């Protein structure tokens, strides 16, 4: 499949398809910000598993992610999030964190195009990072010259995502992390008045801004306004204008809308297909070794946003994704599966690893065990005599009633995601194949 960095032809269908590939992560990042900040009702009470908060305010997740969390895609169930979306056009923001001792934590700064600007934390600073200040590059404060702790951001709206590891084998560990969250301090200016366009976007269905031409072009136009100039190729603006002009033309307006909608659908299909082949393919797993370093590969950026938006750089974490069994057949909960980590062949991660199951659309699956992942911290797992670990992935309870190693999956299409935080370079290791059981 070609890596389209610009449209190769000028017909409406091809233009719309290329613009979908480029614009999907930008629109999704905007949607994520609106879902978590809720500009129509910013001070509404959030459920404990949500870290949502008003713009320019830090919110805290008080419980690990569960199926009720639907604002993003592929949430982890390993860490508690503290989250803020800030408007850097309103001023600078300073972040201060406590000492985390031997616990894993990280601070991710995400740009409005879904790329990652910076990740700092245990990997870079040990148990505690010094205070950091965020500012927008286009309006650089005078006192940033030769100053440590200043982070320049390209976008107007920036995500601050703090992850703190929870160990479910330790009683009360969630409460211990809640206590650490109380000592995280974000200071900065208040949020500006909400623009009418932001409120209008909140009323648009997610599916409409991906599939309906006017809704797509409107959402993209607003999202582009929050990006740095260098983040928007010239062809994007030209293509956007060409499609909008076609919709506004008096002649063949309906035909233009159908052709653009067909192109948007084609672009979406290309993105979904790319998820299965991100980076290299090993044992049915798609492994993106580039992490969040997309460069000019807009299709990779879109596929990552589709399956796991705002991933960390490869040095911080690796995220192999599996949507097929060892014979290349799509994973489906109508079948039973198993995979085995052989003794001495567990995921090579310095900080932690986990294997999470999701619906095909990237949401957690509600099940009778309230179990969404198997991890290096999961209590009471059964290991074979040689130290191997076999995990059963199936919709129904194992016939022998042994649920220790059961990872429940949804009845239909699903995907698995393996997380390795602090991945260790090991050319001999690969994720194990997912084997359909007879």
How distant is the alpha carbon of residue 71 from its chain centre?
A: 11
pLDDT reported for residue 146:
54
Token digits of residue 206: 């997610």
Could you give the angle at the alpha carbon of 306 between the alpha carbons of 300 and 310, nearest 5°? Answer: 80
User: End-to-end alpha-carbon separation of the chain, Å?
Assistant: 34
Section 259-285 average pLDDT: 92
Q: Is the pLDDT of residue 47 over 90?
A: yes
* Domain segments of the chain as ranges: 40-187, 196-275, 285-436
Helices 253-275 & 298-308 angle (0-180, nearest 10): 80
b/e sequence 35-54, b meaning 16+ C-beta within 10 Å: ebbbbeeeeeebeebbbbbb
Q: Identify the pLDDT of residue 3.
A: 47
pLDDT score of 428 more than 80: no
Pairing label, strands 389-394, 406-408: parallel
Chain segment 336-365, per-residue pLDDT in tens: 999 999 999 999 999 999 999 999 989 999
The strand pair at 337-341 and 435-436 is best described as antiparallel
What confidence tens digit (pLDDT) does each residue in 146-199 have? Answer: 567 999 999 999 999 999 999 998 999 999 999 999 999 999 999 999 999 999
Contact 3, 220 (CB under 8 A): no
Mean per-residue pLDDT for 214-227? 96
Q: How much is the average pLDDT of 47-64?
A: 97
| pLDDT tier at 400, thresholds 50, 70, 90 | confident
Q: 79-115 b/e with 16+ CB inside 10 Å = b? A: bbbbbbbbbbebbbbebebeebeebbbbbbbbbbbbb
* Average pLDDT of the segment spanning 248-270: 92
Where residue 72 falls among pLDDT bands split at 50, 70, 90?
confident
pLDDT band at 42 (very low <50, low <70, confident <90, very high): very high
Q: Are 401 and 324 in contact (CB under 8 A)?
A: no
Name the token pair of 11: 């017909």
Domains 40-187 and 285-436 agree in fold: no
Q: Which two tokens stand for residue 63?
A: 């419980």
Q: What is the pLDDT of residue 278?
A: 81
For residue 208, the surrounding DSSP H or E stretch is helix 206-211
Nearest to 127 by CA among 94, 164, 91: 164
Separation of alpha carbons 136 and 239, rounded Å = 27
* Structural contact between residues 155 and 134, judged by C-beta atoms closer than 8 angstroms: no
Cα–Cα distance, 28 to 311 (Å, whole number)? 14
Alpha-carbon span 43 to 214, nearest angstrom: 31
Contact between 131 and 96 (Cβ < 8 Å): yes
Question: In whole angstroms, what is the distance from residue 147 CA to residue 286 CA?
Answer: 40
Interatomic CA distance for residues 235 and 240, integer angstroms: 8
What is the pLDDT of the chain when averaged over all its residues?
93
Q: How confident is the model at residue 107 (pLDDT cuts 50, 70, 90)?
A: very high
- pLDDT, tens only, 136-147: 998 877 666 556
pLDDT band at 1 (very low <50, low <70, confident <90, very high): very low
Q: What is 40-187's CATH topology?
A: Immunoglobulin-like (2.60.40)
Query: Of all residues in the chain, what percent carry a pLDDT higher than 70?
Result: 96
CATH homologous superfamily of 285-436 equals: Domain of unknown function DUF1214, C-terminal domain (2.60.120.600)
Q: In 113-228, at which residue ranges do the beta strands (DSSP E only) sit?
A: 116-121, 132-136, 150-153, 157-165, 185-187
For residue 265, the tally of other CB atoms under 10 A from its CB is 16
d(CA 360, CA 364): 10
At 185 the three-state DSSP class reads: strand
Q: For residue 100, what pLDDT is reported?
A: 99
Give the model's pLDDT for residue 204: 94
Token duo for residue 268: 């979406």
């Amino acid at each position: 499949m070609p890596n389209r960095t610009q449209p190769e032809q000028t017909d409406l269908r091809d233009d719309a398809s290329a613009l979908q590939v480029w614009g999907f992560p930008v629109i999704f990042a905007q949607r994520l910000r609106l879902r978590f900040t809720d500009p129509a009702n910013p001070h509404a009470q959030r459920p404990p598993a949500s870290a949502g908060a008003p713009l320019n305010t830090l919110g805290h997740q008080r419980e690990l992610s569960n199926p009720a969390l639907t604002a993003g895609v592929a949430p982890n169930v390993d860490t508690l999030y503290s989250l803020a979306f800030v408007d850097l056009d309103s001023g600078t923001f300073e972040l201060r964190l406590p000492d985390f001792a031997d616990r894993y934590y990280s601070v991710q700064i995400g740009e409005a195009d879904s790329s990652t600007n910076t990740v700092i934390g245990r990997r870079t600073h040990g148990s505690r990072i010094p205070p950091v200040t965020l500012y927008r590059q286009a309006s650089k404060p005078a006192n940033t010259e030769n100053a440590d702790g200043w982070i320049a951001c390209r976008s107007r709206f920036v995500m601050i995502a703090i992850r703190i590891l929870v160990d479910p084998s330790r009683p009360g560990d969630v409460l211990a992390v809640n206590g650490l969250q109380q000592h995280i301090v974000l200071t900065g200016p208040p949020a500006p008045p909400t623009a009418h366009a932001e409120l209008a976007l909140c009323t648009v269905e997610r599916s409409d801004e991906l599939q309906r031409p006017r809704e797509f072009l409107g959402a993209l136009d607003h999202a582009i306004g929050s990006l740095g100039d260098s983040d928007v190729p010239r062809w994007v603006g030209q293509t956007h204008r060409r499609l909008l002009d076609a919709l506004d033309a008096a002649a063949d307006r309906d035909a233009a809308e159908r052709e653009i909608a067909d192109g948007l659908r084609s672009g979406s299909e290309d993105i979904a297909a790319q998820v299965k082949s991100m980076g290299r393919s090993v044992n049915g797993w798609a492994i993106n070794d580039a992490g969040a370093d997309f460069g000019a590969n807009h299709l990779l950026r879109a596929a990552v946003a589709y399956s796991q938006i705002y991933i960390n750089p490869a040095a911080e974490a690796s995220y192999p994704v599996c949507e097929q069994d060892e014979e290349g057949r799509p994973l489906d909960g109508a079948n039973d599966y198993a995979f085995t980590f052989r003794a001495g062949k567990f995921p090579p991660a310095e900080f932690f690893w986990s294997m999470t199951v999701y619906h095909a659309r990237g949401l957690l699956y509600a099940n009778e065990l309230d179990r969404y992942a198997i991890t290096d911290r999961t209590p009471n797992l059964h290991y074979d005599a040689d130290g191997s670990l076999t995990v059963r992935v199936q919709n129904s309870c194992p016939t022998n009633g042994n649920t220790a190693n059961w990872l429940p999956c949804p009845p239909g299409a699903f995907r698995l995601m393996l997380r390795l935080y602090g991945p260790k370079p090991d050319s001999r290791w690969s994720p194990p194949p997912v084997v359909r059981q007879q």
